[in-house]
Structure 1
Amino acid sequence: MVSRRWFLLQSACAAILAGAPFRHAAAAGTFSVTHSDEEWKTLLTPEQYEVLRRSGTERPFTSALLNEHRRGNFACEGCELDLFSSTTKYDSGTGWPSFWAPLDKAVGTETDVSFGMTRTSVHCSRCGGHLGHVFDDGPQPTGLRYCMNGIALSFKSLET
């Protein structure tokens, strides 16, 4: 027999997995690049919009940027601001492009309490687009792991 408690627990788990009630807009604040919601929808693919503007997460191991090993910079898909250097990229084994440090003043952070846990969300400092999360289990010299959604990034090669 299904109890009310079991039903509520299962409903909550389904909602968490779907992410719908816990999704929030891109970072709050004032940014130098702004667009209306409708403009963002025309500038970004539906998948990019879901991540950058609705704080979604791409499936792990699906980003082509996991295998990007050339010298260059990883930039925001929303506004083209350079965010991470390839010199700080490493394989974290998590399935998302990971870096141990961003470029100076390229990203901002805020507390994210979605999915029943407290994490640190990372956003672009120019447009406020959600990029991923930062954790304190990365390599030295920072000990940080900036775990980014590849769909929120583009790569700009510095090789000639």
Structure 2
Amino acid sequence: MAAMTTAAIPATRSFQKQEEEWRAVLSPEQFRVLRLKGTDKRGKGEYTKKFEEGTYSCAGCGTALYKSTTKFDSGCGWPAFFDAIPGAIKQTPEAGGRRMEITCAVCDGHLGHVFKGEGYSTPTDQRHCVNSVSLKFASTNSSQ
């Protein structure tokens, strides 16, 4: 059995806070997106055009969610990934079945949505459309 890395977080781990605790540690925009299921402005997010090597983590609890190797330019106006780190996110179907809401498996923070079957030439033909404000980026380049 392969050793589990610190990036793979079991979905059973919990990181819950009261609303006032979240407001104390998140910016107003992070709170609106992560806790109230808001959305970044299209094309304005810090990570929309970032393609540096590294890891994207939850801005709420720090759980590693996505590797830069799964990020691609979908042209949608938000950071797009074709797959998440195993066990890092939860997917919940939305009414109509067109998309799945994605949340952090640890703190339940709203990240965005997954769209399937759009025809992208990625290994999964999925687009994880993620709000920049719900992410923090750590470069693997030590000089950054």
- TM-score w.r.t. the length of structure 2 is 0.84
Quickly say closer, same or farther: Cα 1:140–1:82, change in 2 above 3 A.
Answer: same
Deviation track 1:82-132 (CA, whole Å, cap 9, x = no partner) reads 10000010111010000000011110011223xx87531000011000000
Q: State which of 93, 110, 114 in structure 2 corresponds to 1:134.
A: 114
The answer to whether the 8 A contact 1:100-1:139 is kept is no
Secondary structure of the residue that 1:35 maps to in structure 2?
coil
Any runs of at least 4 consecutive aligned residues in structure 1 with deviations exceeding 6 A, and if so which?
A: none
- Distance between the aligned counterparts of 1:30 and 1:118, measured in 2? 27
Structure 1 residue identity aligned to 2:52: R
**Aligned mates of 1:102, 1:75 — CA distance in 2:** 11
Percent identical residues: 38
Distance between the aligned counterparts of 1:134 and 1:147, measured in 2?
A: 6
SS at 1:38 equivalent: helix
Question: What is the rounded CA distance, in whole Å, between the counterparts of 1:99 and 1:151 in structure 2?
Answer: 15
- In 1: Cα distance, 2:77 partner to 2:18 partner: 32
Matching residue of 1:152: 134
Q: Distance in 2 between matches of 1:31 and 1:45?
A: 24
- Higher helix proportion, which one? 1
Out of 32, 35, 45, the position equivalent to 2:14 is: 32
1:100 corresponds to 2:82 = yes
Aligned residue type for 1:93? G
Task: Tell me the CA shift for residue 68 of structure 1.
Answer: 1.5
1:120 to 100, 105, 109: 100
Higher relative contact order (CA 8 A, sep 6+): 2
Q: Is the alpha carbon distance of 1:53 and 1:30 closer, same or farther for their aligned partners in structure 2, counting shifts above 3 Å? A: farther
- The reply on whether 1:80 has 2:62 as its aligned counterpart is yes
* 1:60 aligned residue (21, 42, 52): 42
Aligned residue identity for 2:140 = L
In the alignment, structure 1 residue 47 sits paired with structure 2 residue 29: yes
CA distance in 2, matches of 1:50, 1:31: 23
Q: Structure 2: which amino acid aligns with 1:153?
A: L
Count of aligned pairs: 130
